[in-house]
Amino acid sequence: MIEYDLKKNNNKKNEKAYGKYYAKPHVIETIDLEALAEQMHTFNSPFSAGTIQGILTDAVVHIKELLLAGKNVKLDNLAIFYIGIKNKEGAATEDDFSVLKNVLGVRMRARATGNFRFVNLNLDANLKRHTPKKKKNGSDDGGGGTTTDPNGSQGGSGGTNTPQQGGSQTGSQEPGKDTGGSESGDNVSL
């Protein structure tokens, strides 16, 4: 189950999205290589967590080397990793172009493939609105961050959220489709 928070777009430069609410994933935690290796070991792997972690660590090093050598790296049913170039500005002519003047830097990018492609992931995804648990003193355990509640209460300094390309619907449901959700319709299978 993917929990989401609603965030209000406060970016006045984006007139279409300004003032509207968008779903953003509520991240519970970030799993590092050590925890991933332990998870893999726990689920009937013949390899120790240390062996798995070593293999994953080596994979990270080699993926970086291959990317910096100008190659894309595909991990089947996960992603194709590749390098993108962030440009400062365009050059008027080919002769005017220089890396120093026109390139800001490079970054690693990833494009989902196989089971992680947008279409396939949507079939497996279930969304549910995150509801912070109340502590005994009445405050929530949200742990910081900025949220704007659709009922008007706002915390923090706001932020900018725009819908991502290839987005999905949330908060609505096909008539008659049982998703096991709450009466309010906040649980949605895509």
Intra-chain end-to-end CA distance of the chain, in Å: 12
pTM to 2 decimal places:
0.62
User: What is the pLDDT, as a whole number, of residue 139?
Assistant: 54
Nearest CA to 157 out of 148, 149, 146 is that of 146
The H-assigned helical ranges of the chain are 33-42, 49-68, 99-102, 118-124
Please tell me the predicted confidence (pLDDT) of residue 137.
Answer: 66
Sign of CA dihedral 174, 177, 179, 183: positive
Name the residue ranges covered by the structural domains of the chain.
1-26+130-190
Q: Which amino acid, one-letter code, is at 181? A: G
For 6, list phi and psi in degrees, rounded to 5.
-95, 130
In order along the chain (190 residues), what is the average pLDDT of each group of 10 residues?
93 94 94 96 94 97 98 96 96 96 96 87 86 70 42 36 37 37 51
